[in-house]
Amino acid sequence: MSGRGIKKVLDDLRTTRILVLHPRDDDGDALIRQLRRIGCDVRAAWPIPDEVPKEIDLVFVLVEHAGPEAFPWTTRSDGPVVIGLVDYESPTTLKALLDWKAHGVVNKPIRPFGIMSSLVLARALGSYHARLEAKVNKLEETLRARRDVEKAIRILMELKSIEEGDAYRLLRDQAQAKRLPIGQIAANIVSLHETLGGLGLEVRGPAGAGSRTSS
């Protein structure tokens, strides 16, 4: 990494908003002092709250005998980067770190050496995970839209007794006319079709056009 890249990393650290969730004992105070020496915006709280302020970027949290259900903010997709503080390694501690999807670990007793490295690596890992999740969400959205388009095309083919290509063009033209994504138009068609079907209102093509007739 170039000197400019290192400078950017350090500048990013100095704008990081950190919450330390640890009792105000020697370890807690030592961690807070070191983070402030680095230049971070540091806050502290204890006991561990049910929620973390949305503006917090990174949390140092004391790992205790509790699962992710105790602190739901640790597993939110939009939650902060998490660094666990551990007294000793045990199966319970390791499970908690995995359940919390922790991005780093700092062992106690707290020492100044290694805090900055943990911050840099945890933020990089958190950023990578966020980008990866965004790509996955985008892919899932694309696949959902494609399925809706395919369903809408079949519905239009049946209703209007037209070929697949004509049904797609009709769908595309409607999206262009309304200046909406074709997937949204398709989803609306599918939803309306399912709603009418759920109400017992059959939507038929020209061969059975019109509403149901009474005998």
Instruction: Note the pLDDT tens digit of each residue in 118-149.
Output: 988 898 888 888 888 889 989 999 999 999 99
Cβ-based neighbour number of residue 136 at 10 Å = 10
- Going by pLDDT thresholds of 50, 70 and 90, the confidence category of residue 27 is very high
Domains and CATH numbers, the chain: 3-113 (3.40.50.2300), 136-206 (1.10.10)
Query: 3-state secondary structure string, 134-199?
Result: HHHHHHHHHHHHHHHHHHHHHHHHHHHCCCHHHHHHHHHHHHHHHCCCHHHHHHHHHHHHHHHHHC
Question: Of 108, 123, 111, nearest to 18 (Cα)?
Answer: 123
What does pTM read for this prediction?
0.67
Instruction: Note the pLDDT tens digit of each residue in 2-20.
Output: 556 667 777 777 788 999 9
> In the predicted model, is pLDDT for residue 215 greater than 50?
no
- Look at residue 76 in the predicted model and tell me its pLDDT: 66
Alpha helices in 17-103, H assignment, sequence order: 26-38, 91-99
Give residues with Cβ within 8 angstroms of 191, minimum separation 6.
none
User: What is the distance between the alpha carbons of residues 20 and 119, in angstroms, rounded to a whole number?
Assistant: 13
> In the predicted model, is pLDDT for residue 64 greater than 80?
no
